[in-house]
Chain A
Amino acid sequence: MSSDTTRGGPPSGRLGTPDQMAARDAERVRSAEEAARRRRRRKVVGYVPMVLLALFFLFPLVFMFVSSLKPDAQILSDIDSPQAFLPVGDISLDNYSGVFDRVPVARFILNSVLVTTLIVGLGVIVNSMAGFALSRLEWSGRKVLLTVIIATLIVPFETIAIPMVYWVSKLPTIVMENGVPMYDFGWLNSYHVQIVPFIANAFSIFLFTQYFSTIPKSFDEAARIDGAGWFTIYRRIIVPLSGPAFATVAILTFLPAWNQYLWPLMVVQQEELRPVMVGMQYFFQINPAWGEVMAYTSLITLPVLVMFLAFQRAFVSSIASSGVKG
């Protein structure tokens, strides 16, 4: 105890008098409040650009949805004013009914969902297995093969499109005639011609190979001692530990598969097999029907938005962990 206390006076010394302590407490509270206010201000200041950026990225979508409700003339007259982003004026669903009159939308969406789902689903299986073989198995020539696979990334698809059309038109296939399976040639006008060429993907293989290489090989060795085969190691150890890589590949495969245009245009002549992006061309007649273009775009964007919202967390975490953006 300090000498001040023994004299019966108020506590003093290093802690100071009660008034001083109270003042210090008040000061601390004020400081804390001030710090909290500063943090809030910083947070608000930090949010402002984020909100602005979000609005910036949202504008095209808002413009698309809003314009899909307006007649062509109004879309063009609103374009240089903020009204372009507001559902004002002659609002109706006419463009949507026009879309359904002009294009078999449901059929096109169904085709794209089927083709995209299979490309993504089979793609992650095939490419992850290839990545596993290249990163975990010891065999001669794997580095050369990986180099060759990566080298194919520099070849633009457009340069090989026509030869590919020729080749797929000569590939064997099985068709049913009166319930009897028959051997035939030519993959044109089918779903599988839109799917099979895009299952194996050099970039996906590279991504899986790189990701799998970061998983310690001691896991494999322990599993081998327990009697696991390579496929079991792949399925029970590698796949569960590689969620972000699978999510990344799924997303990176989904978008181009959904947006396919040139390839289906060349290999599919029957309307009932066409995907959504080919359908977009239906609206570009001599004078484009902009309202219907916006309505159609809104309709075909919905599945992508739903997919993104459903897998938003996986999408963000895959970017964070793999450093790859779509």
Chain B
Amino acid sequence: MTRRSLPGMLAMTAASATLLAACGQAGQADGGSGGGGDADGGTTEISMWTHSAGNPAELEVYEQIIADFNGSQDDYEVVMESFPQGAYNDAVVAGAAAGDLPCLLDMDGPIVPNWAWAGYIQPLGIDEGIIDSLLPTAVGRYQDEVYSAGYWDAALSIFARESVLTENGIRIPTTDEPWTLEEFDAALVTLQGAGYETPLDIGAEDAGEWWPYAYSPMLQSAGGDLIDRDTFLTADGALNGPEAVEFFEWFQSAFERGLASDAGTIGNEEFNNDEVALSYTGVWNALGSLEAAGDDLLILPPPDFGNGPKIGGASWQWGISAECADADGARAYLEFSFQDEYIAAFADKQVVIPATKGAEELSEMFGEGDPLQPFVELSQLYALERPPTPAYAVISSVFERAGKDIMNGADVQSTLDQAVQEIDANIESNDGYGF
């Protein structure tokens, strides 16, 4: 019996090993995704990761740029791998742990200082002329060094219907004279009285980076901030000072009075269906609302909470990994890619604000007289980057939690004090993150 079972066992082991080896071979067939390497014909392969999987419009532009670049010279071949956005940062962190980052990778603007501090990316080192031509918020800096650059930015605004404001005797704000907090609050109360059960879709049903992106500019407009930007060593006084407390008390009361809600759906459906009168949302939702409201749509500046309106700046940008074996090739690609025609293509296909003046003119949506041109103005006037510190990753999650607690009725001062304590403890345990 033993004699018969041994060959069976060996066969089973061999079969398993063969199967796994075959699997391994299948996986290895296209090579890894590490830094540059020699491809056929002496060209050097430049690996590239994007967060754009599942976004065919964005991928189409990248594929075009890569095809054009690869066809324009014989030294480098860019090879792209795309990841879904929600999983992208985890993939990069894992890649960094395994020493398997690509040469080129994109990243959300606020994370740039953290990845620079962690040693994932190196100074960008591309032509200064290109950097100078971009919107300031499309450039990622850490400790005065440029680490990333992007083709576009996004902007938030208040969407409204002109007819609704006019019928209710509400002044239409302009960039010269935006709504004050009192006016904004009074407008919401008036609209609630006019039959809008929840007059403002403030987007509180969303989660993650949306919270600091959307609400920290309101805090900054009120005179507070996420951190003391002079030292980047403490949030004390910025996030829990009297201005911040005053803003968050209004924020809390807006939910208590039913002026805003955390119900509803992510996106702009409620505004498009005229279920809410005002929507605090981004440029990416503008086409749908233009379709729904037509000429009646107003793209309004956000309210002035005391220190001028503010909106969040910095979107996805490109950097070069620290371990890239052929950074010159990566730079050559990036310099090639910052052409107005590509930037305009991104802007029109993605509905985002082009980062250069030339692309703005080429764009069918953001040029002079185009329907989404107001976003360019809002971005230029009010965009403020989120604090360029490696601590931002922690600040972001702490701010979201504190904001949600306050929305749900927590005591404002003690919640903000607790948030400051957490942020400061993190900064201290990381020796100030280089500041």
Residues of A bordering B, CB below 8 Å: 73, 76, 101-103, 114, 118, 122, 125, 161-162, 165-166, 168-169, 173-176, 184, 186-193, 195-196, 226-229, 231-232, 235-236, 262, 265-273, 278-279, 281-288
**Inter-chain pairs besides A191-B24, A191-B26, A270-B33, 12 sampled, C-beta below 8 Å:** A161-B94, A175-B28, A189-B27, A190-B27, A191-B23, A192-B24, A195-B23, A269-B83, A269-B95, A270-B30, A271-B81, A273-B26
Residue of B16, B20, B94, B102 near A165 (CB, 8 A) is B94
Chain A contacts for B32, CB-based, 8 A: 186, 188-189, 269
- Tell me if B169 is interfacial: C-beta within 8 Å of chain A: no
Bound-state Cα–Cα, A193 to B98, Å: 13
Query: Which of B216-224, B250-258, B264-272, B381-389 lies at the binding interface?
Result: B264-272
Chain B contacts for A188, CB-based, 8 A: 32-33, 98, 100
0/1 string, B356-375, CB within 8 A of A gives 1: 00000000000000000000
Chain B interface size band reads 35 or more
Residue of A271, A273, A286 near B27 (CB, 8 A) is A273
Q: Can you spell out 21 A-B residue pairs with CB atoms less than 8 angstroms apart?
A: A165-B94, A165-B98, A168-B98, A190-B26, A190-B27, A191-B26, A226-B1, A229-B2, A229-B5, A236-B1, A265-B91, A265-B94, A268-B27, A269-B91, A269-B102, A271-B82, A284-B86, A285-B55, A287-B266, A287-B268, A288-B266
| Chain A interface main SS type | helix
- Tell me if B49 is interfacial: C-beta within 8 Å of chain A: yes
Q: A122-B16, A269-B81 are in contact. Are A282 and B54 (CB under 8 A)?
A: yes
- Tell me if B142 is interfacial: C-beta within 8 Å of chain A: no
Q: A192-B24, A278-B87 are in contact. Are A162 and B12 (CB under 8 A)?
A: no
Query: Smallest distance from the beta carbon of B364 to chain A beta carbons, Å?
Result: 20
A265→B90 contact, CB < 8 A:
yes
- Tell me if B84 is interfacial: C-beta within 8 Å of chain A: yes
Residue of B2, B12, B87 near A228 (CB, 8 A) is B2
B24→A266 contact, CB < 8 A:
no
Residue of A101, A190, A191, A278 near B84 (CB, 8 A) is A278
B1→A229 contact, CB < 8 A:
yes
B53→A282 contact, CB < 8 A:
yes
Bound-state Cα–Cα, A308 to B267, Å: 36
Nearest to B91 among chain A residues (CB) is: A265
Chain A contacts for B94, CB-based, 8 A: 161-162, 165, 265-267
Chain B contacts for A189, CB-based, 8 A: 27-28, 30-33
Chain A contacts for B12, CB-based, 8 A: 125
Bound-state Cα–Cα, A231 to B12, Å: 13
Residue of A118, A184, A232 near B2 (CB, 8 A) is A232
A166→B97 contact, CB < 8 A:
yes
0/1 string, B166-204, CB within 8 A of A gives 1: 000000000000000000000000000000000000000
Chain A contacts for B102, CB-based, 8 A: 269
Q: Which of B24, B53, B81 has the most CB of A within 10 A?
A: B24
Nearest to A279 among chain B residues (CB) is: B84
Bound-state Cα–Cα, A158 to B265, Å: 30
Query: Smallest distance from the beta carbon of A241 to chain B beta carbons, Å?
Result: 17
A231→B55 contact, CB < 8 A:
no
Bound-state Cα–Cα, A268 to B28, Å: 11
B28→A173 contact, CB < 8 A:
yes
0/1 string, B137-151, CB within 8 A of A gives 1: 000000000000000
Chain B contacts for A193, CB-based, 8 A: 27
B56→A102 contact, CB < 8 A:
yes
Nearest to B58 among chain A residues (CB) is: A285
